[in-house]
Amino acid sequence: MQLLLQGRGFDVRAYAAADPMLLDEELPQAACLVVDYLLGDRDGLSVLGSLRKLGWRGPAILITAHATDELRRSATGAGFSAFLEKPFKEHILVNTVTSLAASSGSDA
C-alpha cells in the first residue's frame, strides 16, 4: 500500500506498529490515516482513538480482512470515514484516500 500510494504522489509514512507511529512528532500534519484493524500491539480502532486524544482530526480509513457488521458499526462510531474490506482493488484505496484528503483540505 505504501508503494502504491507513493506512486500516486502521496507523501506516505508507514509504521510496523502503532506505538512508534503515535510518537512521531510530524503525525499532526497527516492528511489521512489508513490503518489495518488487526495490529500487533493494538487494533485500528484504538489507534484512531489515541490520535483523536492527541488532537488529530483528519479522515481515517480502516482496512480489514475480518469484516463483520459489528466491526463496521464500531468503525463508524469510532470516527472512521471509510471501511475497506480486503482484498480490495488498488484503485478503491487510491480513490478513497484521494477523496478524503481533498475533502479535508490537504494535499496529502
- What is the phi-psi region of residue 9: left when phi exceeds 0, alpha when psi lies from -120 to 50, beta otherwise? left
Q: Is the pTM of this model over 0.85?
A: yes
pLDDT at position 16: 85
Identify the domain containing residue 83 by its residue range.
2-8+29-99
CB 34 within 8 A of CB 96: no
Considering the domain boundaries, does residue 22 fall inside one? no
pLDDT at 3 over 70: yes
Q: Give the burial class of 67: count Cβ atoms within 10 A of its Cβ; 0-12 exposed, 13-18 middle, 19 or more buried.
A: middle
Considering the domain boundaries, does residue 73 fall inside one? yes
pLDDT tens-digit readout, 63-92: 999 999 999 999 999 999 999 999 999 999
All 3 cell numbers of residue 17? 506498529
- Domain count across the chain: 1
pLDDT tens-digit readout, 10-20: 999 999 889 89
d(CA 82, CA 31): 14
**Sign of the alpha-carbon torsion through 34, 53, 39, 44:** negative
